[in-house]
């Protein structure tokens, strides 16, 4: 070991060994000396920490050691309300809070988080791409809600650019949407389904309420994963996903809400595919999500010619 003498850089006097790992005060000139170049004094750190938590008093939900201020209501389902929120602190971040309704089954949101975490942890081909196209959970816990009751809360990453669900789109239209838009919506969901089905998962509740739309990118995000199941050899459950998705698309193409009779404006090749996909589960299972995606592409080409991008407005003015 090489002997080492530590000297005060200000007066050259010897310093105690502790100067190697902490601040010491030179007994000759009184200078505070440290070897560390990125040292932060405890008092400065404490002050900065208090500054960073200044927004906590305005926050209304606490979960996973963080405080969140709700900004806007996003929607509500059978078991929870959804809100856009911002994490308070030095590094604010937009999140989506899913807050269980009073009386909702205990642990449902914890289950949803466990499923989302497993989907994110899957290490199968395509994971790097598709995990970005699935919801990402941040934390789960319970928090006092404005009515003073403890509610289960799930914190999710905020997926930017998503307007609302396909159920909201259908409501805003008040009539069938243009079938060309139904084509990209259908194909976007099938792309993700092909990936999750390959990992053995099935969603189980593919309704328009569980499909969020990104109008600018023609994207669709599948939400509502609390009922998802994993079973390596359950082609039946995956066939049911494809059937449910076909019914969701029929809802988008129905002239009257709640009556998924396919609109006459839907070109025959697509209408035929929709009809069969929504009635024949064994055929859906045999085709698989990727086969269905290709079938939708072929039917769309037959109906509309080569694919091209058409702007989508979720709230048409007429
Ligand atoms: N990230 C989001 N952005 C915009 N709206 C959202 C978002 N997440 C959910 N919503 C809206 O909230 C509604 C309810 O969400 P969700 O389906 O997750 O709740 P739920 O039905 O109560 O729960 P679960 O399906 O697990 O029983 C959705 O149909 C959608 O309209």
d(CA 132, CA 192): 10
- What pLDDT, on the 0 to 100 scale, is given for residue 304? 94
Is 193 found in the same domain as 125?
no
CATH classification at residue 99: 3.30.200.20
CA distances from 220 to 78, 181, 213 (A): 21, 12, 5
The confidence band for 318, taking pLDDT boundaries of 50, 70 and 90, is low
Which range among 33-47, 165-179, 205-219 shows the weakest confidence by mean pLDDT?
A: 33-47
Confidence tier at 26 by pLDDT (50, 70, 90) = very high
CATH code, domain carrying 207: 1.10.510.10
Instruction: Identify whether 15 is part of a domain.
Output: no
Percent pLDDT > 90 in the chain is: 70
Residues 171 and 78 in one domain: no
What are 233-276's pLDDT values in tens digits? 767 899 999 999 999 999 999 987 766 778 888 999 999 999 99
pLDDT value of residue 314: 92
Q: In the chain, count of helices (H) and strands (E)?
A: 8, 13
Chosen domain end from 97, 122, 157: 157
Q: How far apart are CA 31 and CA 252, in angstroms?
A: 75
114 within domain boundaries: yes
pLDDT at 47 over 80: yes
Would you state the pLDDT for residue 259? 67
Q: Could you read off the pLDDT of 126-166 as tens digits, one per residue?
A: 999 999 999 999 999 998 876 778 899 999 999 999 999 99
Angle at which helices 179-198 and 281-304 cross, to 10°: 140
What b/e string do you get for 182-206 counting C-beta neighbours within 10 Å, with b at 16 or more? bbbbbbbbbbbbbbbbbbbbbbbbb
Q: How many domains does the chain have?
A: 2
Q: Which residues contact 129 (CB under 8 A, 6 or more apart)?
A: none
Using the 3D structure, point to which of 134, 157, 180 is the last residue of a domain: 157
Q: Is residue 49 in a domain?
A: no
In terms of domains, do 204 and 291 share one? Answer: yes
Q: Which of 105, 132, 157 is the last residue of a domain?
A: 157
Mutation probe of ligand 1 site: the residue of 80, 161, 205 with most atoms within 8 A of C-beta: 80
Q: Mean pLDDT lowest for which of 100-104, 164-168, 215-219, 283-287? A: 100-104
DSSP per-residue letters across 208-226: GGGEEEETTTTEEEE--GG
Q: How far is the CA of 77 from the centre of ligand 1 (A)?
A: 6
Region 52-77: mean pLDDT is 87
Confidence check: pLDDT of 37 > 80: no
Per-residue model confidence (pLDDT) at position 313 = 94
Let me know whether 168 and 115 are in one domain: no
The answer, yes or no, to whether residue 36 has pLDDT greater than 80, is: no
Residue 285 lies in a domain: yes
| Ligand 1 atom 10 nearest Cα | 75
Protein residue with its CA nearest to atom 24 in ligand 1: 224
Q: Are residues 146 and 247 in the same domain?
A: no
Q: What is the spatial distance between Cα 193 and Cα 77, in angstroms, rounded to a whole number? A: 22
Task: Tokens for 253, please give them.
Answer: 């193409």
DSSP category for residue 58: G
The residue-averaged pLDDT of 53-70 equals 85
220 inside domain: yes
CA distance 63 to 140: 7
Same domain, 61 and 137: yes
**Which residue puts its alpha carbon closest to atom 11 of ligand 1?**
75
Domain of residue 198 covers 164-304
224 C-alpha to center of ligand 1: Å? 7
Q: What is the distance between the alpha carbons of residues 108 and 100, in angstroms, rounded to a whole number?
A: 8
Whether residues 181 and 267 fall in one domain: yes
Q: Ligand 1 centre and the CA of 36: distance in Å?
A: 50
Residues 296 and 168 in one domain: yes
Do 191 and 260 sit in the same domain of this protein? Answer: yes
Ligand 1 binding pocket (C-beta < 6 A) is 74-80, 82, 96, 98, 112, 159, 162, 164-165, 168, 209-210, 212, 223-224, 226
- Give pTM, 2 decimals: 0.85
Per-residue pLDDT for 4 more than 90? no
Q: Is residue 255 domain-resident?
A: yes
Q: Are residues 203 and 225 in the same domain?
A: yes
Q: Using an 8 Å Cβ cutoff, are 252 and 177 in contact?
A: yes
pLDDT score of 19: 86
Angle 235-252/166-173 helices, nearest 10 degrees?
Answer: 20
The answer to whether residue 47 sits within a structural domain is no
Give the pLDDT band (50/70/90) at residue 96. very high
Q: Give yes or no: residues 258 and 146 share one domain.
A: no
Distance 96 CA to ligand 1 centre (A): 10
Asked, for residue 17, whether it belongs to a domain, the answer is: no
Give the residue among 259, 296, 257 at the shortest CA–CA distance from 276.
296
Q: Are residues 114 and 178 in the same domain?
A: no
């Amino acid at each position: 070991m090489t002997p080492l003498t530590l000297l005060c850089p200000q007066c050259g006097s010897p310093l105690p060994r502790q100067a190697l790992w902490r601040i010491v005060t030179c007994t000759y000139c009184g200078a505070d000396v440290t070897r560390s170049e990125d040292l932060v004094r405890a008092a400065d750190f404490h002050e900065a920490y208090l500054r960073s938590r200044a927004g906590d008093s305005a926050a209304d939900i606490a979960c996973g050691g963080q405080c969140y201020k709700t900004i806007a209501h996003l929607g509500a389902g059978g078991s929870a309300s959804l809100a856009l929120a911002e994490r308070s602190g030095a590094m604010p971040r937009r999140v989506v809070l899913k807050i269980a309704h009073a009386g909702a089954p205990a642990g449902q949101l914890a289950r949803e988080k466990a499923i989302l975490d497993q989907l994110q942890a899957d290490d199968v081909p395509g994971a790097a791409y598709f995990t970005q196209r699935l919801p990402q959970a941040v934390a789960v816990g319970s928090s006092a809600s404005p009515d003073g009751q403890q509610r289960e809360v799930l914190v999710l990453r905020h997926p930017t650019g998503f307007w609302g669900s396909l159920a909201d789109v259908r409501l805003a239209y008040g009539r069938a949407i243009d079938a060309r838009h139904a084509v990209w919506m259908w194909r976007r969901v099938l792309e993700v389904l092909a990936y999750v089905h390959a990992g053995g998962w099935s969603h189980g509740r593919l309704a328009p309420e569980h499909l969020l739309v990104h109008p600018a990118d023609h994207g669709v995000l599948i939400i509502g994963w609390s009922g998802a199941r994993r079973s390596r050899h359950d082609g039946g459950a995956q066939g049911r996903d494809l059937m449910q998705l076909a019914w969701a698309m029929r809802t988008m193409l129905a002239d009257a809400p709640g009556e998924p009779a396919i609109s006459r404006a839907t070109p025959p090749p697509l209408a035929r595919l929709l009809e069969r996909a929504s009635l024949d589960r064994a055929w859906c299972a045999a085709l698989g999500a990727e086969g269905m995606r290709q079938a939708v592409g072929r039917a769309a080409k037959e109906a509309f010619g080569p694919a091209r991008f058409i702007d989508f407005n979720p709230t048409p003015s007429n």
